[in-house]
Structures are given as C-alpha cells and as structure tokens.
C-alpha cells in the first residue's frame, strides 16, 4: 500500500480541529450551566431564608420551600443523565464467526490488516443486510483508552459483490480502524447522549415535576418557573448540538474519503467504485425479496434461503435495464446510477455522515489506482458452508413472523423464480415497447375524424419510434422534473444547504433560480418531444390497422380506451383535488383559516365519496378489496366525518380519511386499472404490428 494514501488532507485536519473545538465548546458551556445551576441553588436558598426571616408564616414557609425546590429541580435537570440507565446493544441479529469456521474470509482479513497496518478486529460478525461496518462499545472509558473495534459484514453485500470488491470494501472499513479521529466519534457519541437526555428523555423528570407541583399550588408556581429556566437551558444545548454535530458530520465525510483512498491503495480504484454504484440495486433486490415474502405470510410461505433469490432478482433487474454483466454481476456506469436515482443533483448535505456516491466515485477515479490481485468470483463463495449460513440468517430474520398455518411451506429458488417471472410478466407491458409505457399512457386525444380510411403522412418506422432514445427522453423528463422540485425547495429555503452540484458543476444556492428556469424550459422541450412521439405512434398503428383492413376494429378499441382513460383521469383529479385541500392538516394553521379551509375540504370530499361508492360496486375492484378494507370504505361513506371541532383536529377521523385515500389510489386499485387498460390496448395494436410483419412476439 502506498504510504502517502494514509496522509490525511488539509481539509481532514481542519474538520478534526473544528470537531475537537466543538467538544470543548460543549464542555465549557456545560460547565458554565452547572456553575449557574449551583448558583441558582444558593440564590434560591438565600431568597428563601430572607422571606422566612422577614415574615415567618405558613405562606412564606411554603414559598421558601417552593423556591428551594425550584433551585434543586433546575440543578438536578443538569445532572440527571448520570442516573439514566444505558440501553443494552441488541446483537441477536448477528452471527459471530471465527478463523476456524471461515478460514478463507479470515485469510483475506489478515492480508488487508497487514497492508493497512492496523489491528485485527476484536470480533467479526455476519448480518443479513447489504452493508459492512465498523462498530465498538462506546462508553465513558472509550474516550480515554484504545478500544478494539468489531467488524460486521452483511450477506446481502457478499452476495452481490466480487471478491476483489469485497476486499476493497473491507479495506475501507479497516481504513477506519487506522483513523485516530474515530476517538472524536466516541466523545461526540457520549456528548450526544448527554444532550439527548436533557432535550428529549424527560418522561421520568416530567413525572417528578408533576408529583412535586401537585403537592401544593405554591409548588406548582415554582415548577412553572423551573420549566421556563429549563427551556432556556434546552435552547442553549440545541445550539451547541447543532454546532457539534455539523462539524462532526463534516469530519465523518472526510474520514470516508480517507478510508476510500486506503481501499483504492489496497485493491484499486475501480473495485470500490463499481461496488458503490451497484449497492443501491443490490439493496433494492433484497428488499424486493423481503416484500414478496411479506405478501406471502397469510399464505404461509417461507423462503428456504433469501440470498439465491436476491441474486436472481439483481440480475433480472439488470437484464430489464440492459446493463452489462461481468463475472455474474451487473456493471453500472455513473450515468446508469444517475438514471436509477432520477437526478443530476448532488447536494452538499451538512447533516450527512457520508459523501454522495457520485462524490466518492469521482475521488476514486482521481486517485486512479490500478487493480491489485484481482479475484472476480462472487464474494459469498468465500464462506465455508455458505448454504447453511444463508439458511441460518434467513431463519433468524423470520423467527418472529406468525404464519397463517404452521409449519409454513418452504419456498426454494426454483419455485421463487417461476412465481417471480410469472408476476413480472403479468405486470409488464409487451417487451417490444422497451418500457416506454411504464410511465407514459398511450395517446388518447384523438377524435373520430382521425380514423378516416386513409394512410396518414406518418412514414416513421417502429424502430425509429421505440428505441433507447425514446426511453432516455422519458428518463430525462423525470430527472428534470425531480431536480426542479428539489431546486425549488433550495430556492425557498426549505432545504438548508450552502452549495450543490448539478450535472458535474458546482453551484451556490443563489444559482438555484436560473437553474429552475432552465429546467422548466427542458421540461417543456421533453414534453413536446414525447407528445409528438405519442401522436406518431398512434398514426403508425392506425396505418397498420388500415393496411390490414382492421380500421373499424382499431377505432372501436381506441375509442373504448379513450373513454376508460378519461374516467380514470377523473378519478385521479378527484383524489388530487382532495389531497390538495387537506394539505393544511400537516402544517401550523390559524384557527380562522382552518375553518375556512374546511369548507373547501367538504366541497372536494363530496365527489371523492361518490367515487368510493362507485368503487365498491365496480366488479374490477372486488378482487383488490379485502373485507377489512371494504368495512373501512363503508364506514367512511356512511358517516359525515368532521375532522375538526372545538379548536382541535379529530385525529381518528383524519386517520380514516388518509386510509381510504391511500387504499383507493394504491397499485391494487387505480394503478391496476390504469395498467390493465394500457396493457389491453397495447396487445390490440400489437396484433396489427405482428400481422403486418408476420412476426411472433
């Protein structure tokens, strides 16, 4: 490993100094508060003594006791964290391994430790997730003495990276082992525990205050005084917390860059960069498997092993996105990554402990370290008895799940693949359309005059209409829309950031408005391109229908789709209007404005209720509504819910409204209706295309 890689940057040193100074700021502030707290006790004692000596009576005695009690309550608030119990760290989801059990993995760990010149982990654990991390028991003594760190490796990660990529990831974690600045994290952790205790963990203290104030009305008065002082203390601590953690988050980001540099020196720049770009897809694929089995609990289906299924889903997703496969794993470029995230923005999030993936990949490419000792097998194959370990961790994940029938049916990889592919086919449009209609409805703004029996002037081929460029235009439109929405939040101050990157160029927040204007123009441009393509696709299939003497059939189906699309849009508009009307439920609103807003809510709710009544009678929805949801829908339309009364929101009624709205707009209702409508039309028009070219799809 190159020695200069371990040399920290000037920015790293600066952030480390600022973090240390922030800790000193807290200690100084806390010391001042404690001294003032002691002073308050003496002051309250002096006032109490003066009151009693001035006029000794029951009333003055109670006032004196209240005054002294207030002083002690304020001081106790400052030291109550000492008496709080520490929460035991739950490691039941982890499986500890050793060298005898896993010689190949520990051999790799030994090589990395030697190259990084750090200490071996105290313990090594396997977990279920797509992650690897360093952790240690942070306590009072860890601030002063070296603490050996533990290593956690997720099977979901090992299952979706190559051996050389895992080596790079673990070298990154061992890079943290070598960072003396991790001790700063121990200080920050303990300081945050103190601040959290005083800001939020006040249930027992609140009970103490209530108990004391209930003894006498005299004491209640001084309890209110103590609360006012405590609120002032909390205000000061909130400001210190912000300074401390913003500086530490900045240091944490520098620590990540430094650990990446260590990883690049051990394994090369590309292995870590490739794994970083793939991790989002790996995590998504594991979550898809988990969500699949969540839906199968009532059917009492349980996976034998989720990890072969995760691997299958990962590569299935890569196939749909036409990603290249190398050594059994999809390879994502930075452009692929941005497409999945639907953004060209990289925000300088001051509260993030990690830099963005784009920033980390850019830094790794700048280092340009060559790949060293490449081994491109799947990392999980390093494990001895991997199937047994995978099944063990799968069972650990599901140990608390209550199935409809016991024992549950065990689902293996072959059964999962068959069912997954079946569901995917049922919920996908014909592959020939290259997912163009996944986020875009077919053109339906035609009139009957558009179906005149003549060949239109459309001369584009299908390949010119549906190709990679057509789906790229949709992705560009989505990206521009998402970025505009984020930039509007930056411009309005809803997102507090200083700088951001857009398409690789750094901007300040003052540049947000010109970019918003630019993106608005881009959105108009892409919408115009896509609208023209939609019209041309309609004309293309119209021509094919005419050439096959199927004009009347095509016209009938198209007009039928147009009618159903308009009905569906009406439902969407009704939902959207009501959602806009109730948005103020989530904001602080004056009482008189709430009353005025409720008039609009009831106006928008009336057509929504009518839609729910129609939904309950519509045969299409019957298979998508269970008895519990039907009961909620019927309860909703049978009652005149008010949502607000006596100057307070009626939360139970609001919860019913949200439940009905979310359920009525879910994939199982409007989403499915839209899908089946488009799927039906596409299969009809595809028939003319197949007949024309005499091709079977």
- For residue 692, what pLDDT is reported? 46
Judged against a pLDDT cut of 50, whether residue 691 lies above it is answered with no
Q: Which of 573, 586, 569 is nearest to 658 (CA)?
A: 586
Cis preceding linkage at 219, omega within 30: no
Q: How far apart are CA 122 and CA 366, in angstroms?
A: 33
Q: How far apart are CA 316 and CA 332, in angstroms?
A: 14
Q: How far apart are CA 343 and CA 324, in angstroms?
A: 22
pLDDT in tens, 198-207: 888 888 888 8
Q: How far apart are CA 566 and CA 572, in angstroms?
A: 10
- Contacts of 595 by beta carbon, 8 Å cutoff, 6+ apart: 644
- State which of 250, 268, 299 marks the end of a domain: 250
Joined tokens for residue 452 = 């005149």
The residue assigned the tokens 């609208």 is 531
Neighbours of 66 (CB within 10 A): 25
320 in any annotated domain: no
Q: Which of 272, 73, 307, 62 is nearest to 170 (CA)?
A: 272
Residues in the chain: 697
pLDDT in tens, 3-50: 565 677 788 888 888 888 888 898 899 899 999 989 988 998 888 888
Print the domain residue range for 241. Answer: 3-87+192-250
pLDDT in tens, 300-341: 999 999 999 999 999 999 998 889 999 899 999 988 888 888
Percent of the chain with pLDDT over 90: 33
- For residue 202, what pLDDT is reported? 81
pLDDT in tens, 442-451: 888 988 888 8
Q: How far apart are CA 284 and CA 479, in angstroms?
A: 20
Q: Which of 152, 149, 158 is nearest to 176 (CA)?
A: 149
Q: pTM of the prediction?
A: 0.79
Alpha carbon distances (Å) from 118 to 13, 110, 135, 561: 20, 10, 15, 67
What backbone phi and psi angles, to 5 degrees, belong to 345?
Answer: -90, 140
Query: Cα Rg for the chain, rounded, in angstroms?
Result: 32
Helix (H, G, I), strand (E, B), or coil: what is residue 345?
A: strand
120 in any annotated domain: no
| Mean pLDDT over the full length of the chain | 85
509 in any annotated domain: no
What backbone phi and psi angles, to 5 degrees, belong to 116?
Answer: -80, -20
Choice among 118-127, 170-179, 283-292 with the minimum mean pLDDT: 170-179
Calculate the CA 195 to chain-centre distance.
26
Q: Indicate the pLDDT class of residue 480, thresholds 50, 70 and 90.
A: very high
Q: How far apart are CA 247 and CA 18, in angstroms?
A: 6
Q: What is the DSSP string of 615-645?
A: HHH-HHHHTT--HHHHHHHHHHHHS---SEE
Neighbours of 261 (CB within 10 A): 26
Q: How far apart are CA 673 and CA 566, in angstroms?
A: 12
- For residue 668, what pLDDT is reported? 44
Roughly what angle, to the nearest 10 degrees, separates helices 651-664 and 551-581? 160
608 in any annotated domain: yes
- Contacts of 324 by beta carbon, 8 Å cutoff, 6+ apart: 330, 331
- Contacts of 19 by beta carbon, 8 Å cutoff, 6+ apart: 181, 184, 188, 244, 247, 248, 250, 251
CA neighbours closer than 13 Å in the CB half-sphere of residue 215: 15
Q: Which of 185, 134, 153 is nearest to 383 (CA)?
A: 153
Number of independent structural domains in the chain:
2
205 in any annotated domain: yes
Tell me whether strands 150-154 and 132-135 are parallel, antiparallel or unpaired.
Answer: antiparallel
Q: What is the DSSP string of 519-570?
A: HHHHHHHHHHHHHHHHHHHHHHHHHHHHHTT-HHHHHHHHHHHHHHHHHHHH
N-to-C CA span, the chain: 54
pLDDT in tens, 88-108: 667 778 999 999 999 999 999
pLDDT in tens, 413-442: 999 999 999 988 888 888 888 888 888 888
Helix (H, G, I), strand (E, B), or coil: what is residue 412?
A: coil
Q: How far apart are CA 296 and CA 404, in angstroms?
A: 9
Q: What DSSP state is assigned to residue 675?
A: H
- State which of 203, 234, 250 marks the end of a domain: 250
Choice among 84-93, 480-489, 632-641 with the minimum mean pLDDT: 84-93
Q: How far apart are CA 10 and CA 41, in angstroms?
A: 47
- State which of 229, 250, 271 marks the end of a domain: 250
Joined tokens for residue 199 = 């800001």
Handedness of CA 362, 368, 369, 371 (dihedral sign): positive
Q: What is the DSSP string of 47-107?
A: HHHHHHHHS-SHHHHHHHHHHHHHHHHHHHHHHGGGGSPPPPPP-TT-EEE-TTT-HHHHH
Q: What DSSP state is assigned to residue 261?
A: H
692 in any annotated domain: yes
Q: Which residues pair with 301 in a beta bridge?
A: 409
Report helix, strand and coil shares of the chain as percent, to nearest 5.
70, 5, 25
Joined tokens for residue 197 = 């205790």
257 in any annotated domain: no
pLDDT in tens, 646-682: 888 889 999 999 988 888 776 445 556 666 667 777 7
Q: Which residues pair with 330 in a beta bridge?
A: 325
Q: How far apart are CA 160 and CA 152, in angstroms?
A: 16
- For residue 379, what pLDDT is reported? 95
Q: What DSSP state is assigned to residue 351?
A: T
Joined tokens for residue 212 = 């004391």
Judged against a pLDDT cut of 90, whether residue 630 lies above it is answered with no
Q: What is the DSSP string of 454-517?
A: S--S----HHHHSSHHHHHHHHHHHHHHHHHHHHHHHHHTSS--SEEEETTEEEEGGGHHHHHH
206 in any annotated domain: yes
Q: How far apart are CA 145 and CA 127, in angstroms?
A: 28
């Amino acid at each position: 490993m190159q020695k200069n890689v371990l040399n920290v940057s000037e920015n790293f040193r600066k952030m480390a100094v600022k973090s240390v100074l922030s800790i000193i700021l807290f200690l100084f502030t806390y010391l001042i508060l404690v001294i003032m707290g002691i002073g308050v006790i003496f002051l309250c004692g002096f006032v109490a003594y003066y009151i009693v000596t001035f006029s000794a009576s029951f009333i003055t005695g109670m006032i004196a006791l209240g005054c002294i009690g207030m002083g002690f309550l304020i001081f106790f608030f400052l030291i109550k964290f000492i008496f709080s119990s520490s929460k035991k760290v739950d490691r039941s989801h982890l499986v500890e391994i050793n060298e005898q059990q896993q010689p190949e993995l520990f051999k790799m760990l030994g090589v990395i430790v030697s190259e990084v010149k750090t200490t071996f982990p105290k313990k090594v654990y396997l977990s279920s997730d797509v992650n690897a991390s360093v952790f240690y028991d942070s306590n009072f003594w860890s601030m002063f003495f070296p603490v050996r760190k533990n290593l956690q490796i997720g099977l979901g990660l090992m299952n979706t990276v190559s051996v050389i990529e895992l080596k790079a990831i673990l070298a990154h974690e061992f890079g943290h082992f070598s960072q003396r600045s991790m001790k700063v994290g121990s200080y920050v952790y303990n300081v945050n525990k103190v601040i959290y205790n005083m800001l939020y963990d006040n249930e027992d203290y609140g009970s103490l205050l209530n108990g004391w104030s209930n003894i006498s009305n005299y004491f209640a008065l001084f309890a209110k005084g103590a609360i006012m002082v405590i609120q002032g203390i909390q205000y000061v601590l909130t400001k210190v917390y912000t300074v401390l953690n913003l500086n530490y988050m900045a240091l944490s980001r520098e620590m990540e860059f430094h650990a990446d540099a260590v990883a690049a020196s051990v394994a090369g720049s590309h292995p870590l960069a490739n794994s970083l770009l793939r991790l989002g897809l790996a995590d998504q694929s594991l979550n898809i498997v988990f969500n699949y089995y969540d839906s199968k609990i009532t059917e009492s289906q349980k996976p034998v092993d989720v990890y072969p299924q995760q691997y299958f889903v990962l590569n299935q997703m890569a196939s749909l996105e036409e990603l290249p496969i190398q050594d059994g794993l999809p390879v994502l470029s930075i452009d692929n990554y941005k497409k999945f995230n639907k953004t060209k923005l990289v925000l300088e999030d001051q509260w993030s402990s990690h830099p963005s993936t784009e920033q980390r990949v850019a830094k790794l490419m700048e280092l340009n370290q060559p790949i060293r000792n490449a081994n491109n097998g799947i990392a999980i194959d390093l494990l001895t008895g991997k199937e047994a370990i995978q099944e063990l961790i799968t069972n650990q994940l599901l140990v608390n799940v209550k199935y409809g029938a016991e024992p549950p049916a065990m689902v293996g990889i072959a059964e999962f693949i068959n069912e997954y592919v079946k569901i995917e086919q049922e919920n996908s449009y014909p592959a020939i359309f290259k997912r163009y209609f996944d986020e875009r409805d077919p053109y339906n703004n035609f009139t009957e005059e558009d179906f005149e029996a003549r060949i239109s002037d459309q001369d584009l081929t299908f390949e010119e209409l549906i190709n990679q460029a057509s789906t790229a235009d949709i992705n560009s439109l989505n990206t521009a829309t998402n970025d505009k929405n984020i930039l509007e939040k930056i411009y309005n101050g809803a997102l507090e950031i200083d700088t951001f990157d857009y398409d690789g160029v750094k901007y300040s927040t003052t540049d947000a408005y010109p970019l918003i204007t630019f993106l608005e123009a881009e959105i108009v441009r892409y919408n115009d391109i896509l609208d023209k393509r939609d019209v041309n696709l309609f004309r293309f299939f119209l021509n094919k229908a005419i050439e096959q003497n199927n004009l009347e059939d095509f016209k009938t189906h198209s007009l039928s789709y147009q009618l159903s699309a308009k009905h569906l849009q009406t439902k969407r508009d009704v939902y959207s209007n009501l959602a806009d009307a109730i948005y103020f439920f989530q904001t602080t609103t004056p009482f008189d404005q709430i009353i005025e807003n409720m008039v609009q809510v009831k106006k928008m709710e009336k057509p929504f209720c009518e839609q729910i009544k129609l939904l309950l009678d519509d045969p299409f929805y019957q298979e998508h509504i269970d008895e519990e949801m039907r009961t909620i829908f019927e309860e909703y339309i049978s009652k005149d819910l008010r949502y607000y009364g006596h100057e307070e929101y009626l939360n139970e009624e609001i919860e019913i409204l949200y439940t009905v709205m979310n359920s009525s707009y879910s994939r199982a209702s409007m989403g499915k209706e839209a899908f089946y409508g488009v799927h039906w039309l596409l299969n009809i028009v595809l028939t003319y295309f197949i007949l024309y070219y005499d091709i079977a799809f």
